[in-house]
Each structure stands twice: as C-alpha cells, then as structure tokens.
Amino acid sequence: MADAHPHAMAPTRPGKTRTAPPQRPPQFPMGGRYLAYTAFGWTGLIYLLLGFLVIEAVWALGDGAAAWQEQLLRYEHPVYIAFHVLALASVVFVGVRFFRLFPKAQPPRIGPAKPPPQSLIHGTLYAVWVGATVVFGAILAGGLF
C-alpha cells in the first residue's frame, strides 16, 4: 500500500510524539469508485490529443482542397479509427459523469439571481448535449445549411 504525501494533513507544528506516516486511501487509484475518477483524469490526455487533431484539420482546411481531402483520407486509417472510437467513448464518459456532478456545483445564488432547480439543470444539460450533437452533426454531414 502506497503512502500518501508525507505531510498530508500534518499540522504546522507536529506533536511531540512520533506519528506513523499517512496512508493514502487503500483503493486509490484503481479500486472501487476511484477507477472512474482515475479514468476521468486520464481522459485529459485524449482531450489534449483531440484538440491538436482538430487544429490539424482546421489547418488543412486552410491549406486548400487537396490538403483537406488528404486529411479526410487519413482518418480512414485503422489507427485513427481505433483512437476515435476510444475518444468517442471518453467524450461520452466525460459528459455523463460531468453533467451528473455539474448542477450541484451551482452556487445557491449568484448576486440576486437564483439558479433553477437541479433536476431542471440536469435535464437541460443532457437535452442540450443530445440536441447540439444532432444539430452540429447534421450540419457537418450536410443535412443542414
């Protein structure tokens, strides 16, 4: 079992008796509920890559028709496909987890304004997510505009 940071929760002036070092939560990082948390953190890496991939695509779009076509072709490579399946899974996972946790992080009041009830925020978030995906997807796929 790994130790936590040796100074975790230590007072600035330690007591006179010797203490045993703090242990970190026994199931951390891969056991029990922590697994989801750890995975959530690692999606960061995927988002980083995704960000740069989109930049690459936009860059290609700026370079002209040939570059753009080439870019689209490259996406057919199995490695890209595999990565993007993983990426889709992460994005959905992030969405589900985050939208579940997000509403309660709303302060009970921002100045005079009060937020709507949590269930409403929940519903709206998921609806917006699905709706935006459909609309945005449709635009990209050529169904709209």
Partner 1 sequence: MRAAIAAVEADPDISVALVSKVYPMRSHTVSAEGGAAGVAREDDSLEMHGFDTVKGSDFLGDQDVIQYFVEHAPKELTRLEHWGCPWSRNEDGSVATRAFGGMSTKRTWYAADKVGFHMLHSLFQHSLRFDRIVRYDEQFVTKLIVDGGQVRGVTALDIREGVVRCILGRAVVLCTGGAGKIFPFTTNGNIKTGDGMALAYRSGVPLKDMEFVQYHPTGLPGTGILITEATRGEGGHVKNKDGERFLVTRDYGVGKKAELGPRDMISRAIVQEIEAGRGIDSQYGQYALLDLTHLGEEKIDSRLPMVRELCKIYAGVDPVYEPIPIRPVVHYMMGGVDVDIDGKANGVSGLFAAGETACVSLNGANRLGSNSLTECLVFGARSGLSAVNFAKGASAGDDAALAKVGEAEQGRIDALRGKQGGGETLAGIRGDMQKAMESGCGVYREEATMQQTVRDIAELEGRYANLSLEDSSKVFNTEIVAALELENMLDCARAVSNSAASRNESRGAHTRRDATARDDVNFLYHTLCHFDPAGPRLDKKDVTLGRWEPEERKY
Partner 2 sequence: MKHLLLKIEPLIWLLFGQGILLGTILLTGWILVVNLGVPLGLISDDGLAFQRAHELGSSLVGRLVLAALCALPLWKGAHHMRHVSIDSGGAGRDAVVAPLLYGVAALGSLLAIAAVIRL
Partner 3 sequence: MAETLVKKFVVTRFDPDKDEAPRTESYEVPCHPDWKVLDALNHIKDEIDGSLAHRWSCRMSVCGSCGMNVNGQPTLTCKKAVSDLPDTVEVTPLANFPVVRDLVVELDGFMEKLKSVKPWIIRAKEKAVEEGPMRQSQAELEEFKQFSMCINCMLCYAACPVVANEPEFLGPAAIALGHRYSVDSRDEGAAERNEIFRGEGTVFACSYANECSEVCPKHVDPAAAVNQAKFNAVIDWAAGLVLPRGGKE
The site for partner 2, by CB under 8 A, has a size of: 58
Q: Round to whole Å and give the CA distance between 81 and 2.
A: 37
Q: Which three-class secondary structure string do you get for 89-130?
A: HHHHHHHHHHHHHCHHHCCCCECCECCCCHHHHHHHHHHHHH
Could you say whether residue 12 binds partner 1 (CB under 8 A)?
no
Q: How far is the CB of 76 from partner 3 (least distance, A)?
A: 37
Which of the listed partners (partner 2, partner 3, partner 1, none) does 35 bind, with a CB threshold of 5 to 8 Å by partner kind?
A: none
The residue with tokens 């199995």 is 78
Centre a 10 Å sphere on the Cβ of residue 102 and count the other Cβ atoms it contains.
13
Q: Is 62 helix (H, G, I), strand (E, B) or coil?
A: helix
- Give the nearer residue to partner 1 in terms of CB position, either 16 or 104: 16
Peptide bond into 29 cis (omega under 30): yes
Which of the listed partners (partner 2, partner 3, partner 1, none) does 20 bind, with a CB threshold of 5 to 8 Å by partner kind?
A: partner 3
Which of the listed partners (partner 2, partner 1, partner 3, none) does 16 bind, with a CB threshold of 5 to 8 Å by partner kind?
A: partner 1
- Give the nearer residue to partner 1 in terms of CB position, either 15 or 111: 15
Selected range binding partner 3 among 29-37, 56-64, 82-90, 136-144, rule: CB under 8 A:
29-37
Could you say whether residue 13 binds partner 1 (CB under 8 A)?
no
